[in-house]
Amino acid sequence: DIQMTQSPASLSASLGETVTIECLASEDIYSNLAWYQQKPGKSPQLLIYYANSLNDGVPSRFSGSGSGTQYSLKINSLQSEDVSIYFCQQNYDSPYTFGAGTKLELK
């Protein structure tokens, strides 16, 4: 199985700050990487697919980048509604595996 190592596990940032979350795959996943946001008590929601494509309706302050085994999610100008857990997921090979999540809080 492809292992997804996500970092950091938790992150505290101030409003307006820029934050970056990293995801490392145990092998090349050829940009088949998605990012999800899960707000407290809610279902995950798709933010980014194919490493850098923004899903419909997602604010442009979210962006994804990376290739090979290394990927990142960047949030510019942090807003209060961005407090969530963020997960990466590889959809290159079955079983489709997730990172352990990054809990983003406001400082």
Residues that bind another protein (CB under 8 A): 32, 34, 36, 43-46, 49, 55, 85, 87, 89, 91-92, 94-98, 100-101
Smallest distance, Å, CB 14 to another protein? 24
**What is the token pair recorded at 36?**
């999800």
Smallest distance, Å, CB 16 to another protein? 27
Q: How far apart are CA 105 and CA 81, in angstroms?
A: 10
For another protein, the closer CB: 36 or 62 = 36
Q: How far apart are CA 62 and CA 21, in angstroms?
A: 11
Q: What letter would DSSP give residue 55?
A: P
Contact 84, 24 (CB under 8 A): no
Smallest distance, Å, CB 2 to another protein? 11
